[in-house]
Chain A
Amino acid sequence: MATGQDFLARLLQQATSAESTRVRVRAANIESLRDNGLPLEERLESFKYTPLARFVVDDLLEERFSPPTITVANAAPPPEITVEHSIDPLPADHHPLARINGSLLAGVVYVDVAPNTHLDYPIEIDYRQAGPCTRVCVRAGDASRCEIVERHVAAGVANRVTRVDIGSGATVAHRRIELHAAAHSQWALLAVDVGAASHYELDHYMAAAAPRRSEVVIDLTGCGASCELTGAVIGNEKQIGDLQVQVNHRATDTRSRQLVHAIAAGQSVLTFNGRIEIDARGDGSDATLTSRNLLLAPTARVNAKPELEIHTRNVACSHGATVGQLDPQQLFYLRSRGIDDLTARRLLTRAFLLRAITPRAQALGFEAELIAHLAP
């Protein structure tokens, strides 16, 4: 692992030496890194289990500027959507890891869904051939409807930024799975802006890695905007998985739902930090968060931390978290029917996972992929 200063020096050297158009894309982020460095020494509470330094690795500097593959119905995108590789200058990012991302990018992939378009097929974003640093921005126009299926399955180290900007009166369903690359450090940021009377549905599934940290920030900025997050985090062996979700209610009558199940096997350490923030503009907000956590081994750990911050009065907000093991009564019931202990445990583990798998995620095969990750 690179020490912070060495890494930064190499990053700046590489970022500024590449061809000029790219430097233009990156300029603000490069400048920001040069001026501010990386806050590797700071003890940030949200980085307690996955320290920033774990994601600052030399492999990110690999000279391979490959964006993910974007397909619709296994074909080139239809005219209602455009996919553009932009080299327009980017503003500086707030998040230090996004700043690294922004300093190394060759460009941003923009996917635009025209207003009033209803897409029959999902927009598939596949990272199998992608380079270490990527950025994709999906912009869903007013009154559009679309589904995004994002498969984070690259072989090596990854630093990914995805943005979803949703206009008003639109519906976006986003299915996301982060898998494989268990031996590499994986970081991903998903930032979503949901406009007035729009609905955003996120199915978010991730397998822990060495480590994997996934940050999701959903801003409900338009009146009547809503989001529903259903997800699972699973870990095995000595893996580390960290899911940080923040939902910001920034307008009246906004609604959010979060349901996340975590399953920790082996010596894995999983963290789910679900934060709901309702600011002064969030009158009439309605927010719930449910975190259920299953420990499959005495050596496994989960850190479940629901957080609420409310700056207005007229809101309905609730959260709950449970941590437990497989139910011995259920195990006995299955075994009394001749089902062996291991099979019984697998059935119950899968049952726990299934309660956080949406029908669409199941149809996409996410459940099976996650279960395979848990196998010893």
Chain B
Amino acid sequence: MTSRPLLEIVDLHVTVAGKPIVNGLSLTIGIGEVHALMGPNGSGKSTLTNVLAGREGYEVVAGSARLDGRDLLPLSPEARAHLGLFLAFQYPIEIPGVSNMEFLKAALDARQQSLGSEPLSTIDFMKRVRGIATELDLSAEFLKRGVNEGFSGGEKKRNEILQMLMLEPRMALLDETDSGLDIDALKVVAAGVNRYRREDRGILLVTHYQRLLDHIVPDFVHVLAGGRIVRSGDASLARELEARGYGWLTDAA
């Protein structure tokens, strides 16, 4: 498959508190592609997604990351979002006092503004958010609660997918969105991601487990170890990892 690059990461080096975590990582995700990034704990998966989203506390010491040819790294988190980048958080943040509805409206208004479009009317907004919430098996009451406040692990993850479907980003980074989900919730989340999947969008799935990839079949699978990609393949690589573990790859790294 040869397609125009959507997300292009070249020789990225990142340190956290002076300690190197990502060490020369290169990865290109083409338009319309779904990539899975797997690897043991501490291999740098979450660091990579956080750096791409612009979280503080990470230092990029070398390399580049581009979305649609635009350099992401000097941009604020909101500017990256406006370019179409979305991070589904591994640990979504609770914000008591800001309702989920108000939060979604503010995010969507910001997106419309960045696109030079009119904000959605309250009626259209409500219609859309209710429709997506229903698909994700989330009740209307859920939208009135504080952002992620007192949500179960599964509700938090579904709330991330809800935001993704509302904001329609071009490139979604899903950081262990499958962790903490029971099999029913996993199916709901996977259905949401599959609905989002389109030929003009890209997805990077960060996961520990093959399980998610039974529901969202990736075009490419990469293994991250020691802050670098040590092996890439197609969906069959994930099944091999499930059978053999990471040892045979990480020992070499």
A residues with a Cβ closer than 8 A to B are 328-330, 332-341, 343, 347-348, 350-355
Contact = CB atoms under 8 A, between A and B. Distances in A.
Interface stretch (B8-16, B66-74, B87-95, B224-232): B87-95
A350 B97 contact: yes
Interface residues of B, number: 30
Contacts of A338: 78, 81-82, 107, 110-111, 114, 167
A347 B106 contact: yes
B76 interface: yes
Contact of A336 (B53, B98, B114, B147): B53
B97 A339 contact: no
Given A338-B81, A339-B78, A347-B106, A333 B92 contact: yes
Which 9 A-B residue pairings sit nearest by Cβ, starting from the closest?
A351-B97, A338-B81, A337-B107, A335-B77, A333-B93, A338-B110, A354-B97, A351-B98, A335-B78
A348 B96 CA distance: 9
Taking each of B76, B77, B92, B96, which has the highest tally of chain A beta carbons within 10 Å of its own beta carbon?
B77
Contacts of B110: 337-340, 343
B81 A336 contact: yes
Contacts of B96: 351, 355
B103 interface: yes
Q: Is the interface of A mostly helix, strand, loop or mixed?
A: helix
Contacts of A336: 53-55, 77-78, 80-81, 86-87, 89
A328 B95 CA distance: 12
B43 interface: no
B110 to A, nearest CB: 4
Interface of B: 53-56, 76-78, 80-82, 86-87, 89, 92-93, 95-98, 102-103, 106-107, 110-111, 114, 146-147, 163, 167
Contacts of A328: 56
Given A338-B114, A351-B97, A333 B82 contact: no
Given A336-B87, A337-B163, A343-B106, A352 B82 contact: no
Contacts of A351: 95-98, 146
29 contacts: A332-B54, A332-B55, A332-B77, A332-B93, A333-B92, A333-B95, A334-B106, A334-B107, A335-B54, A335-B76, A335-B77, A336-B81, A336-B87, A336-B89, A337-B81, A337-B163, A337-B167, A338-B78, A338-B82, A338-B114, A340-B78, A347-B102, A347-B103, A348-B98, A350-B97, A350-B98, A351-B95, A352-B97, A354-B97
A329 B76 contact: no
Nearest to A337: B107
Contacts, number: 77
Taking each of B87, B96, B98, which has the highest tally of chain A beta carbons within 10 Å of its own beta carbon?
B98
Nearest to A332: B55
A335 B93 CA distance: 12
A351 B146 CA distance: 9
Contacts of B55: 332, 336
Contacts of A330: 93, 95
B131 to A, nearest CB: 19
Nearest to A356: B97
Given A341-B76, A343-B106, A343-B110, A335 B97 contact: no
A337 B14 CA distance: 23
A253 B6 CA distance: 68
Nearest to B77: A335
A340 B92 CA distance: 19
A195 B167 CA distance: 56
A340 B111 CA distance: 10
A339 B107 contact: yes
Contacts of A333: 89, 92-93, 95, 147
